[in-house]
């Protein structure tokens, strides 16, 4: 919620009797500070679109018409839904929401375009809970957008306000809601999806939010008969263990003391069981070509074969272009290991929960995974030793070109334009990753250093030739220019942007 509009924060803080505890006020202050900027940048488009969305979705059961259709990835948290979403979004015929859209749901075209660039220095290249790739342009969960739009989500209680978890958890399954609350969720969900489909063109909308697993009936009613589902399950004990670990790691976002871990674990199990139970109830009458069920272990063992099975079951064509893009993605993440894979195996397994054993039987997890089949190498892996070496030469050359352009603009405007260090960092980092085809931390640090060098290199000549300061006045002007916080702020943003771009494992995230 770091960029949720301030009116949403007001609702969060004052609508329930569970205030932020004193120890967490610094976290709240940081969030309100960043949300101020999110409010301002989204406000123009929010005011323009507000009346349209109000009248378009004023029904208590709004529908979203998208002729190409929608594919929804279902599965409880930590079941492999993100990996499946990333893999499917490699198909250029899909359009999936990105994080710049989900965390700024009140914005639209211009706001989302600017956010893709502006958020680069602030969003890590990997998720805090599992080191999976992340970024403003990476595929996102639309449920975060609904949360930041009107709090009609389980997210606030799950990750921020543990004492209010019972209240917000109702939005996970949409059970126990008042009619007003249910309509609020429907209108927010429909509005967000409509805004995203405006950029989809003829592409199928691809959605992924774990809570949608318990909302199949509502999604069918909202999206019509051309919505399809792919449901992924993972060994239930592993799912619970991973969720408890995630809950611990994401406690850095809490604004209230969390309940004991065992109590949280029990809550996760109950929600997990009800989620899958509700999925089975609401999907029982779906035709075979509208629902595909897979297991996480099969996707990991034979990703290409599992994807082919999904496409075959749902009556979709797997093109050579899509398959090669998926192979490229799999090639880039082949060295990734989950947290459980990184940890040594326990000598004695923990107690087995009978409820989870029954769920495992329901989804046939006693059956071994399919035979392991490595995906084929892509036709072009997108990089080479020659390209990676060239990036170390291209980045300095681009830096020199940027400095020249910066100097000429400054001369024309008679302004040092320190803010251009942010744009310079983006250009330098982007040129490096485009040349190399794959980034590294070393290349990222190099590009960040070049961004610093660009500001240092142009500040002197600009002071002399654009501002006409010479002699003692030159040194005074140069020093006074850096006494202000502004140039250091833009330089920091530029260096982080350069590092983020040049250290990425992929030039373009899946889905773009």
Q: What is the pLDDT of residues 162-172, one digit of tens each?
A: 999 999 999 99
pLDDT of residue 456: 86
Residues listed for the chain: 512
pLDDT for 340 beyond 70: no
Q: How confident is the model at residue 347 (pLDDT cuts 50, 70, 90)?
A: very low
Q: What is 457-478 written as a DSSP string?
A: HHHHHHHHHTS---THHHHHHH
Beta partners for residue 204, in sequence order = 94
pLDDT of residue 333: 85
In the predicted model, what is the mean pLDDT of residues 357-367? 95
In the predicted model, what is the mean pLDDT of residues 140-147? 96
Q: What is the pLDDT of residues 207-225, one digit of tens each?
A: 999 999 999 999 999 999 9
Which residues, in sequence order, are CB contacts of 347 under 8 Å at separation 6+? none
In the predicted model, what is the mean pLDDT of residues 135-161? 94
Chain mean pLDDT for the chain: 90
- Which range of 8-22, 249-263, 297-311, 469-483 scores highest in mean pLDDT? It is 297-311
Q: What is 224-258 written as a DSSP string?
A: GGGEEEEEEE--HHHHHHHHHHHHHHGGGG-SSPP
Percent of the chain with pLDDT over 70: 92
- Class for domain 6-336, per CATH? alpha beta
Name residue, tokens 């600017």.
Answer: 114
Q: How confident is the model at residue 360 (pLDDT cuts 50, 70, 90)?
A: very high
In the predicted model, what is the mean pLDDT of residues 74-97? 96
Among 79-93, 123-137, 245-259, 430-444, name the one with the lowest average pLDDT: 123-137
- Residue ranges, comma separated, of all CATH 3.40.50.300 domains in the chain are 6-336
Which 3-state string (H, E, C) describes 165-218? HHHHHHHHHCCCCCHHHHHHHHHHHHHHHHHHHCCCCCCEEEEECHHHHHCHHH
The residue among 139 and 410 whose pLDDT is bigger is 139
pLDDT for 75 beyond 50: yes
Please tell me the pTM assigned to this model.
0.91
In the predicted model, what is the mean pLDDT of residues 36-53? 94
30 burial via Cβ count (<10 Å: 0-12, 13-18, 19+): exposed
Q: How confident is the model at residue 368 (pLDDT cuts 50, 70, 90)?
A: very high
Q: What is the pLDDT of residues 453-510, one digit of tens each?
A: 999 888 878 777 666 666 666 566 666 666 677 888 999 999 999 999 999 988 888 8
């Amino acid at each position: 919620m770091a960029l949720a509009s301030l009116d949403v924060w007001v609702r969060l803080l004052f609508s329930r009797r569970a205030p932020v505890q004193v120890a967490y006020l610094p976290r709240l202050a940081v969030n309100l500070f960043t949300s101020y900027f999110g409010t301002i940048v989204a406000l123009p488009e929010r005011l323009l679109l507000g009346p349209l969305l109000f009248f378009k979705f004023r029904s208590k059961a709004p529908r979203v018409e998208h002729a190409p259709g929608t594919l929804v990835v279902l599965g409880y948290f930590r079941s492999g839904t993100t990996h499946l979403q990333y893999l499917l979004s490699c198909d250029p015929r899909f359009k999936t929401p990105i994080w710049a859209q989900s965390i700024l749901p009140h914005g639209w075209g211009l706001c989302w375009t600017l956010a893709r660039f502006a958020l680069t220095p602030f969003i890590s290249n990997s998720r805090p809970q599992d080191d999976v790739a992340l970024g403003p342009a990476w595929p996102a969960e639309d449920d975060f957008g609904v949360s930041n739009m009107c709090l009609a989500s389980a997210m606030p209680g799950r990750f921020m306000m543990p004492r209010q978890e019972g209240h917000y958890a109702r939005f996970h399954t949409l059970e126990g809601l008042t009619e007003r609350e249910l309509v609020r969720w429907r209108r927010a969900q429909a509005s967000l999806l409509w805004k995203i489909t405006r950029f989809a063109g003829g592409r199928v909308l691809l959605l992924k939010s774990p809570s949608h697993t318990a909302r199949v009936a509502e999604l069918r009613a909202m999206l019509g008969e051309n919505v399809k589902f792919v449901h992924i399950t993972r060994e239930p004990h592993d799912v619970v263990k991973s969720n408890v670990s995630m809950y611990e790691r994401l406690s850095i976002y809490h604004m209230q003391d969390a309940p004991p871990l065992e109590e949280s674990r029990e809550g996760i199990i109950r929600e997990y069981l009800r989620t899958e139970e509700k999925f089975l109830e609401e999907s029982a009458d779906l035709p075979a070509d509208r629902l595909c069920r897979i297991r996480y272990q099969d996707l990991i063992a034979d990703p290409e074969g599992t994807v082919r099975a999904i496409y075959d079951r749902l009556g979709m064509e797997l093109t050579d272009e899509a398959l090669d893009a998926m192979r490229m993605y799999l090639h880039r993440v082949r060295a990734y290991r989950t947290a459980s894979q990184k940890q040594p195996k326990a000598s004695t397994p923990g107690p087995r929960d009978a409820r989870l054993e029954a769920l495992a039987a329901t989804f046939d997890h006693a059956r071994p995974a399919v035979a392991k089949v490595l995906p084929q190498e892509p036709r072009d892996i997108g990089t080479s030793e020659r390209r990676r070496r060239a990036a170390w030469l291209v980045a300095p050359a681009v830096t020199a070109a940027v400095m020249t352009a910066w100097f000429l603009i400054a001369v024309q405007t008679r302004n040092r334009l320190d803010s251009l260090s942010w744009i310079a960092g983006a250009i330098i980092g982007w040129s490096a990753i485009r040349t190399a085809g794959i980034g590294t931390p070393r290349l990222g640090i190099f590009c960040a250093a070049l961004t610093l060098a660009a500001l240092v290199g142009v500040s002197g000549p600009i002071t002399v030739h654009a501002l006409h300061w010479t002699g003692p006045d030159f040194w005074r002007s140069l020093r006074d220019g850096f006494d202000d916080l502004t140039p250091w702020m833009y330089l920091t943003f530029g260096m982080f942007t350069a590092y983020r771009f040049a250290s990425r494992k992929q030039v373009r995230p899946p889905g773009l």
